[in-house]
């Protein structure tokens, strides 16, 4: 399993906060503030750091979601952060083949217990 750590620029996020209201299951109005963005995989991951048995690769970037009109007008993408994946490298020697331990056979006596 791998995990992606995302770092976002807070100064850019403040301008992207949107408020939304909905009714919960108790029919009460709930207002939330949220930021929507896209996390996109890069074409060529780039190694940022190499440590003892692991490396950190830049594998994603975060950007503001564009509307259809903005995409058609080829508007500039607003980058708000990066995604990094930690890759653990196998530094141990391969495990030796384990021999099977024989299982002792049960003795069946004519005893009822």
Residue in 13, 57, 5, 53 with CA at minimum distance from that of residue 37: 13
Backbone phi and psi for residue 69, each to the nearest 5 degrees, phi listed first: -65, -40
Helix (H) or strand (E) holding 70: helix 68-72
Largest CA distance in the chain: 89
- Predicted confidence (pLDDT) per residue in 20-54, tens digit: 999 999 999 999 999 889 999 999 999 999 988 88
Q: Two tokens at 86? A: 């930690």
Cα distance between residue 20 and residue 32, in whole Å:
5
Report residue 15's pLDDT band, with 50, 70 and 90 as the boundaries: confident
- Predicted confidence (pLDDT) per residue in 40-89, tens digit: 999 999 999 998 888 899 999 999 998 899 999 999 988 999 999 988 88
């Amino acid at each position: 399993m791998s995990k992606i750590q995302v770092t976002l620029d807070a100064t850019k996020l403040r301008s992207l906060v949107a408020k939304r209201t909905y009714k919960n299951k108790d029919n009460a109005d709930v207002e939330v503030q949220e930021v929507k963005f896209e996390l996109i995989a890069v074409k060529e991951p780039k190694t940022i750091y190499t440590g003892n048995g692991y490396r950190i690769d830049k594998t994603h970037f975060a950007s503001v979601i564009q509307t259809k009109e903005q995409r058609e007008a080829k508007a500039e993408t607003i980058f708000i952060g990066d995604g990094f994946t930690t890759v653990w490298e196998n530094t141990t020697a391969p495990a030796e083949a384990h021999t099977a331990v024989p299982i002792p056979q049960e003795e069946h006596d004519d005893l009822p217990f």
